[in-house]
């Protein structure tokens, strides 16, 4: 993932409810991606067992390694989003903690950008994965007929 420029000239002040809704949506999406990644790894493994060629093995290993990398990033992102959600109380308590509230908002905006980047990277990975699996399946079908 790319680094995030933290020089905010202006930060939109979101309500606690808006941030809560966004966080719940992120968690739902990230949990779905986690399940999807498990499925995709099994898909790659199941379609490469039929083809024992070095080329197919290397291709599938590359895809599995890339998926494993995104899984690790996902676990970290899920933990950070959950932690961020746990700290939402800062925004709803009746104590004026402007520094902490501003830091919370900055973290929220950082997460928005990180999740956006993660989605784009993951979408590109899935596209490559589908091409690889499709090619392997076509190759296997030729071998079977």
Q: How many domains does the chain have?
A: 1
Is 8 contained in some domain?
no
52-92 per-position pLDDT tens digit: 566 667 777 777 888 889 999 999 999 999 999 998 888 77
In a domain, 91, yes or no: yes
Assess if residue 4 is contained within a domain: no
- The residue among 112, 137, 138 whose CA lies nearest residue 43 is 137
For residue 110, is it within any domain?
yes
Residue 22 lies in a domain: yes
Which range marks the domain in which residue 135 is found?
A: 16-144
Q: Examine residue 81 and state whether it is found in any structural domain, yes or no.
A: yes
Averaged pLDDT for residues 25-51? 84
Residue 5 lies in a domain: no
pTM over the 0.85 mark: no
81-132 pLDDT per residue, tens? 999 999 888 877 877 788 888 888 899 999 999 999 999 999 999 998 888 7
């Amino acid at each position: 993932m790319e680094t995030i420029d933290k020089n905010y000239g202006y930060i939109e002040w979101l309500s606690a409810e808006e941030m809560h809704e966004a966080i719940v949506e992120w968690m739902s999406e990230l949990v779905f991606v986690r399940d999807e990644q498990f499925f995709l790894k099994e898909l790659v493994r199941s379609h490469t067992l039929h083809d024992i060629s070095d080329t197919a093995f290397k291709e599938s290993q590359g895809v599995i390694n890339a998926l494993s990398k995104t899984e690790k990033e996902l676990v970290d992102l899920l933990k950070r989003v959950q932690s961020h959600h746990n700290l939402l109380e800062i925004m709803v308590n009746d104590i004026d903690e402007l520094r902490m509230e501003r830091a919370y908002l900055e973290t929220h905006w950082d997460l928005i950008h990180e999740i956006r980047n993660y989605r784009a990277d993951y979408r590109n990975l899935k596209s490559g994965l589908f091409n690889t699996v499709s090619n392997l399946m076509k190759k296997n079908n030729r071998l079977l007929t």
